[in-house]
Amino acid sequence: MFYDMSSHQSSQVFGDKATPFRPERERKVVVQPVMNEFIEMGGRDRDLVCFRLLWASLYYDKIEELIKTREATTLAKHPRLTDTAGPSREMTNIQRLSNASTAKDSLL
């Protein structure tokens, strides 16, 4: 379903088998492959922006073939995201507390 909830009711649908919005009713229409596949909205003539709905289920075979034949690539590492060379030499407060309690337990 496509709902026109715009304040100026500035949407319209069209195509080979388009069913327009009904006057004086909630502005909604069914969208399906080859039915209301074009949606226009905005502007004085409701044609400022135009969308064409494409249904992925109609192109599964083509999509599958593209996936099978694509070349596998690896992204280059960004220099700012490289790993650090080694562990930090400075101990944090948590590490100090952890080491202190371990040392205390070993004395008991």
Q: Would 50 be classed as within a structural domain?
A: yes
What pLDDT is recorded for position 97? 61
Q: Which domain holds residue 30?
A: 2-55
Q: Would 18 be classed as within a structural domain?
A: yes
Query: DSSP character for 58?
Result: G
* Angstrom distance (rounded) from CA 101 to CA 52: 67
What pLDDT is recorded for position 105? 53
What pLDDT is recorded for position 76? 79
Residue 52: exposed, middle, or buried by beta-carbon count in 10 A (0-12, 13-18, 19+)?
Answer: exposed
Q: Would 63 be classed as within a structural domain?
A: no
Q: Would 62 be classed as within a structural domain?
A: no
- Output the pTM of the full model: 0.47
Per-residue pLDDT of the chain (108 residues; tens, 9 = 90+): 888 888 788 888 887 888 888 887 888 888 888 788 888 888 777 778 888 888 888 788 888 888 889 888 887 777 777 666 666 666 666 666 655 555 555 555
